[in-house]
Amino acid sequence: MKKSALVTIIGLVAFSASFASNAQAQLKIGTIDMQKVFTSYYKTHDAEDKLKEAQKAYKDELDQRMDDYKKNLDVINKLNEEMNKPELSGAAKDQKAQERDAKISETKGLEKEISDFRQQRERQIQDQLKRMRDGIVDEIMKVVDDQVKAQNYDIVFDKSGFSANNIVPVLLYSKDSYDFSDSVITKLNANRPLGSVSPAPVQQKPATSANTPATTVKPAGDLSKKPR
């Protein structure tokens, strides 16, 4: 009885090993570095150029509004100084006070306009970033899907993916022969315009005083980073 059970167990183990081996042999596995593909696609760089143009236009207009705001502050400070002159008559001081109060009211209005302008334009740029990124990802996924079907892959892993802790890669090792990233990149860039180059990063200026509206333009995000 024991011998019969042992033979049965050995048979089951052998069958399981054989089944797993056959299943593995039938599976065609591929890997792709989506981060590499995303950053190597020429449309990613074109989108970055357009995004930086939008940010520059936003910053130029913001700087102009800030100049007007600071000029108003200078006028208010000057009126305060004139009001404190001892030789000034009471009526003249009252007149200066009225001018100052009117300028303060105008400046508060400018401050609100600047705040509203910043929120609106930054939201617009973020929306532009999302539209561009989503469009690029859709185009990449179409090419990937076409190649997966053409090569009859059963499973494809993203080599650039990370686990939940964002420290350990999901795919720890794979043979280079499984990787078809370059094939996807070649297909995506087949119609790349001549002379198209990667744009240089734009440096952002630091914020100034906490007592005035911030003049820096918040980066809309790094388009070259693959969305997760």
Burial code (b: 16+ CB inside 10 Å, e: under 16) for 34-68 equals bbbbbbbbbbbbbbbeebbebbeebbeebeebbee
Q: What would the pLDDT profile of 107-161 be if each residue is shown by its tens digit?
A: 999 999 999 999 999 999 999 999 999 999 999 999 999 999 999 999 999 998 8
Class of domain 2-188: alpha beta
Structure tokens at 52: 């930086």
- The pLDDT value recorded for residue 21 is 52
CA 39 – CA 95 distance, rounded (Å): 62
Exposed, middle or buried by CB within 10 Å (0-12, 13-18, 19+), for 200? exposed
Could you give the angle at the alpha carbon of 125 between the alpha carbons of 207 and 214, nearest 5°? 15
Q: What would the pLDDT profile of 188-228 be if each residue is shown by its tens digit?
A: 999 888 766 543 333 333 333 334 454 444 444 555 554 44
Sequence spans of domains, the chain: 2-188
CB distance 42 to 136 below 8 Å: no
Q: What is the mean pLDDT of the chain?
A: 80
- The pTM assigned to this predicted structure is 0.66
Please report which confidence band the pLDDT of residue 169 belongs to, taking 50, 70 and 90 as the band edges. confident
The mean pLDDT value for 1-29 works out to: 54
